[in-house]
Amino acid sequence: MGTVAGAFSGLFGVGGGTVIVPMLIAYFAYGERLATGTSLAAIIVIALLAAGMQGGIYGNVDVGTGLILVGPAIVGVIAGTAIQQRIPEKAVSFLFALLLIGVGIYMVVP
């Protein structure tokens, strides 16, 4: 599945989580919370490799801006994971389905 997730990242420029979470839920019988937590852990490896290549080889990473903007993003992810523990698991699937529909529409609309 890692290969498939990576292939979709390379093919479509989407983050691995867009593929990893629904696959874990639909094909590997993961619960929503376990799927999202495991997806985040897998994304660490994928994003570090990709950021290292983009920054180290091509010099495309604006480290200063990234470090400024990541502050509120970290506050957000802590809040997001806390909220997730307090909503029904199926609400996570519902939100993810909405995201997939949105991404799908974005892809087909020229």
Q: Residue 57 CB, nearest distance to other proteins (Å)?
A: 10
**Structural contact between residues 20 and 39, judged by C-beta atoms closer than 8 angstroms:** yes
Hey, which residues between 49 and 88 contact other proteins (CB under 8 A)?
49-51, 54-55, 58, 60-63, 65-66, 68-86, 88
Q: Residue 107 CB, nearest distance to other proteins (Å)?
A: 4
Long-range CB contact pairs, 97-101, < 8 A, 24+: 99/18, 100/18, 100/22
Hey, which residues between 15 and 54 contact other proteins (CB under 8 A)?
15-18, 20-26, 28-30, 33-51, 54
